[in-house]
Amino acid sequence: MAVYTDVLCPFCGCICDDIVVEVGEDGKITKVKGACAIGRSKIMGHDRMESPAIREDGELRDCSYDEAIKRAAEILADARRPLLYGWSSTVCETDRAGVELAVEIGAIIDNTASVCHGPSILAIQDVGLPSCTLGQIRNRADIVIYWGSNPVFAHPNHMKRYSYLSKGRFTPGGKKDRKMVVVDVRETKSAKLADLFVKVRPGGDFLVFSALRAILRGHEDVVPDEVAGVEKKDLLSLAEMIKNANFIITFFGMGVTHSGARHNNIANAIEFTRAAHLHTKATIMPMRGHYNVNGFNQVCTWLLGYPFSIDLSQGYPWYNPGETGAVDVLVHGECDAALIISSDPASHFPADAVRHLARIPVIQIDPYPNPTTEFADVVIPSAICGVEAEGSVYRMDSVPLRVRKIVDSKFMADEEIIRRILEEVRAIKEKEGE
């Protein structure tokens, strides 16, 4: 038996890095310690796609990696407006190869951010982001606000490792030295743990941020008695708490990005943070979901200048979310082939987009089958990053880490699959050029 310590969990944006994994004589993982339940099940592994396959007469037929890769390359080389989508649950090495592939074939490349924290990125491009790494919160934060996010459910170790329950230099007493505030439309499990729960009417976050901004900037007179279901006196006391704090952090989640005003909501949340910074140290951070959704945004930004939703059809990167996002080009029926890697648009995209996706040739690369597999034309199973393949990943606070390879696998790594497709595409183009 072999024991690996300080293993990194490749599941959520927390990327816990103190996990212990035991591997038996047969090379199978037998025990995982220190991870939360979701992390443990991810590392232990579950039903996989067993073989590369190509759809023929409506049925998937098993084939070799070579054959699947060749078919994938033909589809992409043939396409006039290909989409390369996913990229968030794989390592940065894969993403770099993906960008090269996109440049080569003039594709649209996009990651899952465009349907989760895309609005947050747009807001950052409007007003900036006063933020920090998670250790600043561990060591300094005396007020922790979770706004429209439910860490108990989505990022189970977050409070323990990085925020409310952790202990640090200026917060040696852990939760005794902090106050936790949850703002949400319903009383979540996280809300039950909070010192203060603020219940906002659905879609009312924008108004609450505005009211808090007004109070923090000395204009409490303009705030009505009740704002989106929250009483003014509660807002005043929250503002007072903030003014008296040493360090506040607002973690926000899908509850804010996906209600009504979308990116305007986040811009307002950031403006609220800027207002709080007039009184104390104030920071804000998106609760990124997939472990490397941030990593793709980083890679894409340093290679192509923009974080997601990039159209390379003109030879240079063109960035215009709303026009160049994966959902946009699907809903508009623009794209004529798609490569989907480590994600499941069939479950997460609007019905119009999925309908178009089902009509066009789809290549899927993933360790696991999912509803997208139902209509994929080429299916390429891959090694699980962080368990069977190593690589760079970026935590939700942009700390870069390297996930490890713990066990051997018969599956090919994502990066190699993409690189081989790229080689095949180049070979096809070279032949056509002749």
Partner 1 sequence: MAELLIKNGVVFDPINGVKGEKMDICIRDGKIVESLHDEHGARVIDASGCVVMPGGVDAHAHIAGGKVNAGRLLRPEDGRRGLEPKRGVCKPCTGYSVPNTWATGYRYAKMGYTFVMEPAMPPLTARHTHEELVDTPIIDKAALPLIDNNWMTLQYVRDENYEMLSAYVAWMIRATRGYGIKIVNPGGTEAWGFAKNCGLDDPVPHWDVTPADIIRALAHANERYEMPHSIHVHGNMLGHPGNYETTLRTFDVVKGISASMQRQTMHTTHIQFFCYGGTSWKDFESKADEIAKYVNENEHITIDLGSIILGDTTTMTADGPMEYTLYRLTGRKWTNHDVELETGAGIVPFLYSSRNPVHSVQWTIGLELALLIKNPWKVVLSTDHPNAGPFIGYPILISMLMSKKRRDEVMKEVHPAVFDRSSLASIDRELDFHEIAIITRASAAKILGLHNHGKGHLGVGADADVAIYGISHEESDAGAVQRAFLNAKYTIKCGEIVVKDGEIVATPEGRTFYVEPECEESLMNEVMKDIERLFKEYYTVSLSNYPVQDVYTPHPYVIKAPMSG
Binding site for ligand SF4 (CB under 6 A): 9, 11-12, 14-16, 35-36, 38-39, 155-157
Q: How far is the CB of 419 from partner 1 (least distance, A)?
A: 15
Question: In this complex, which beta carbon is closest to partner 1, that of residue 128 or of residue 260?
Answer: 128
Strands 226-227 and 230-231: antiparallel
Q: Which is nearer to ligand SF4, 18 or 100 (CB)?
A: 18
Residue in 393, 419, 372, 411 with CA at minimum distance from that of residue 98: 419
CB under 5 to 8 A by kind: which of partner 1, ligand SF4, none does 73 bind? none
Largest CA distance in the chain: 75
Region near partner 1 per CB under 8 A, out of 132-140, 185-193, 207-215, 327-335: 132-140
Binds 243: which of ligand SF4, partner 1, none (CB < 5-8 Å by kind): none
Q: Which of residues 151-180 bind partner 1 (CB under 8 A)?
A: 161-162, 168-170
Only segment of 69-77, 216-224, 312-320, 376-384 that touches partner 1 (CB under 8 A)? 312-320
Asked if 202 touches partner 1 (CB under 8 A), the answer is no
CB of 312 to partner 1, least distance (A): 7
Q: Which segments of 193-336 are extended strands (E)?
A: 196-199, 226-227, 230-231, 247-252, 281-286, 310-311, 318-319
Q: Residues 304, 327, 346, 406: which binds partner 1 (CB under 8 A)? A: 304
The residue (of 11 and 296) whose beta carbon lies closer to ligand SF4 is 11
Name the minimum Å distance from CB 162 to partner 1. 6
User: Which of positions 333-372 make contact with partner 1 (CB under 8 A)?
Assistant: none
Considering the complex, what minimum distance in angstroms separates the CB of residue 64 from partner 1? Answer: 29
According to the 3-state scheme, what is the secondary structure of 31-86? EEECCCHHHHHHHHCCCCCCCCEEEECCEEEECCHHHHHHHHHHHHHHCCCEEEEE
For the CB of residue 359, give the shortest distance to partner 1 in the complex, in Å. 30
The reply on whether position 13 binds partner 1 by CB under 8 A is no
Min dist CB 70 to ligand SF4, Å, is 36
Angstrom distance (rounded) from CA 252 to CA 116: 12
Site for partner 1 in 81-100 (CB under 8 A): 92, 96
Which H or E run contains 59?
Answer: strand 59-62
Task: Please say whether the beta carbons of 27 and 407 come within 8 A.
Answer: yes
Question: Considering the rule CB under 8 A, would residue 264 count as an interface residue with partner 1?
Answer: no
CB of 96 to partner 1, least distance (A): 7
Name which of 59, 91, 105 is nearest 337 in CA terms.
Answer: 105
Q: Which of the choices partner 1, ligand SF4, none does residue 286 contact, using the CB cut-off of 5 to 8 A by kind?
A: none
Using the contact rule CB under 8 A, the part of the chain among 50-58, 306-314, 346-354, 365-373 near partner 1 is 306-314
CB of 294 to ligand SF4, least distance (A): 13
- Binding partner 1 (rule: CB under 8 A), the pick from 27, 316, 332, 410 is 316
Kindly give, in sequence order, each residue whose CB lies less than 8 Å from that of residue 372, ignoring residues fewer than 6 positions away: 340, 343, 344, 345, 346, 347, 357, 362, 364, 366
DSSP 202: T
What are the beta bridge partners of residue 382?
412
Contact between residue 362 and residue 338 where contact means Cβ atoms under 8 Å apart: yes
d(CA 216, CA 248): 14
Phi and psi (nearest 5°) for 165? -90, -5
Nearer to partner 1, 46 or 169 (CB): 169
Question: Which amino acid, 97?
Answer: A
392 is a contact residue toward partner 1 (CB under 8 A): yes
What separation in angstroms does the CA of 167 have from each of 9, 112, 135, 159?
21, 33, 10, 11
Instruction: Pick the closer one to ligand SF4 by CB: 124 or 134.
Output: 134
Judged by beta carbon, residue 310 or residue 365, the one nearer partner 1 is 310
The rounded distance, in Å, linking the Cα atoms of 148 and 272 is 15
> For 189, left (φ over 0), alpha (ψ -120 to 50), or beta?
alpha
Least distance (Å) between residue 302 CB and partner 1:
5
Terminal Cα-to-Cα distance of the chain (whole angstroms): 56
Which of partner 1, ligand SF4, none does residue 185 bind to, with CB < 5 to 8 Å depending on kind? Answer: none
- Find out whether 403 and 371 touch, Cβ atoms under 8 Å: no
Q: Which two tokens stand for residue 32?
A: 């995982």
Parallel, antiparallel, or unpaired: how do β-strands 196-199 and 29-33 relate?
unpaired
When asked if residue 140 is in the footprint of partner 1 (CB under 8 A), the reply is yes
Residues that bind partner 1 (CB under 8 A): 5-6, 8, 17-18, 92, 96, 103, 121, 124-136, 138-140, 161-162, 168-170, 246-247, 274, 277, 280-281, 283, 297-298, 301-307, 312, 314-317, 319, 392, 394, 398-402
